[in-house]
Amino acid sequence: MDIKKIIFLGDITGKQGRNAVKAYLNSLEKNPEFVIANIENASHGFGLTKKNYEELLNAGINCMTSGNHIWDKKDIYDYINEADCLIRPINYPEGTQGKGSQIFEIGDEKIAVINVLGRVFMPPMDSPWQRVVDEIKRLKNSNLKSIFIDFHAEATAEKICFAKYLANEFNNEENALIKGFFGTHTHVQTADEKIINGMAYITDAGFCGSPDGVIGMEFSTSLKRLSTSLPERYEVAQSSASQINGVEVLIDKTKAVQIKRINLIVDNNENSKEVNLDNDG
């Protein structure tokens, strides 16, 4: 049976997150067939510069998804249309720069990745329900076997409902077109990974960065902003260890067959050591 390993990494946050992801991917005994990572916080916590885009490409990330912070570094407007491995949420208004989905090749197979923003507790957006359904129908005509979705959203109910709707609408017992649906945005990994009708699912993949701050940001600035309600510039947290969150998914030609959480603390020192937080061993 032809089994392929897909890795999805939660929101990469700042330089520490980038370095941790590079070290993690470099440490793998066998390279996965495809790596997807959310990068909307990769450049000092907000947005993505072209330099960091190229850095993460060279690290082995095949597709970069994003979210509402993708526009925070202004040079994004200079390169997003030419960045073939970077996608922005598909439900921005028509005419927005960049692409909301992209087709890739894994050997002799085609796969697609779609990025989408939720609407509950989020900025106003076009309906994710209609835009994503229309895009899936369009992609079905491209002779591809698998679609993966990064749903960048705040509300867990919205993520769960949307995932179940798509799994019921486009997957069946014989064939799952949508093989992965991964929530991002909250930076807090959920413990609900499962297979829904042949589709690997997790409500939130978590984040990659410093575990000592507040979802990757310095505690002191977060405290001032949250306790006073006054504007305060967030700073990316720094620490001697890094957190790596994501999921590892195994797929065959017809469906996802396994999903496993990646939940590691990596020592940043020269003699790095990984600790699996979900396994005492």
Q: How confident is the model at residue 281 (pLDDT cuts 50, 70, 90)?
A: very low
Catalytic annotation, residues: 69
What pLDDT does residue 1 have? Answer: 61
Report the relative pairing of strands 4-9 and 241-251 from DSSP bridges: antiparallel
Q: Where does 70-136 show beta strands of DSSP type E? A: 101-106, 109-117
- The DSSP bridge partners found for residue 161 are none
H or E segment and range at residue 11: strand 11-12
Burial of 195 (0-12, 13-18, 19+ CB in 10 A): middle
The tens digit of pLDDT for each residue in 113-132 reads: 999 999 999 999 999 999 99
- The DSSP bridge partners found for residue 256 are 251
CB-side exposure of 92: number of CA atoms within 13 Å? 19
Spatial distance between the Cα atoms of 67 and 37, rounded to a whole number of angstroms: 12
Q: What is the mean pLDDT of the segment spanning 157-179?
A: 96
The tens digit of pLDDT for each residue in 4-25 reads: 999 999 999 999 999 999 999 9
In 3D space, the residue among 5, 8, 4 whose CA is nearest the CA of residue 245 turns out to be 8
Task: Look at the domain 4-276 and name its fold.
Answer: Purple Acid Phosphatase; chain A, domain 2 (3.60.21)
Check if the beta carbon of residue 272 is closer than 8 Å to that of residue 266. Answer: yes
Q: What is the mean pLDDT of the segment spanning 245-250?
A: 98
Please provide residue 129's backbone torsions phi and psi, each rounded to the nearest 5 degrees: -60, -50
- The DSSP bridge partners found for residue 149 are 114, 181
Domains of the chain, residue spans: 4-276
Q: How confident is the model at residue 141 (pLDDT cuts 50, 70, 90)?
A: confident
In 3D space, the residue among 136, 90, 113 whose CA is nearest the CA of residue 36 turns out to be 113
Spatial distance between the Cα atoms of 60 and 25, rounded to a whole number of angstroms: 7
Look up residue 39 and give its two tokens. 């990068």
The tens digit of pLDDT for each residue in 65-113 reads: 999 999 999 999 999 999 999 999 999 999 999 999 999 999 889 999 9
pLDDT at 191 exceeding the cut of 60: yes
Q: How confident is the model at residue 188 (pLDDT cuts 50, 70, 90)?
A: very high
Query: Does the predicted TM-score (pTM) go above 0.75?
Result: yes
Spatial distance between the Cα atoms of 241 and 244, rounded to a whole number of angstroms: 10
Spatial distance between the Cα atoms of 167 and 177, rounded to a whole number of angstroms: 9
H or E segment and range at residue 250: strand 241-251
Check if the beta carbon of residue 263 is closer than 8 Å to that of residue 189. Answer: yes
The tens digit of pLDDT for each residue in 211-238 reads: 999 999 999 999 999 999 998 888 999 9
Spatial distance between the Cα atoms of 264 and 105, rounded to a whole number of angstroms: 29
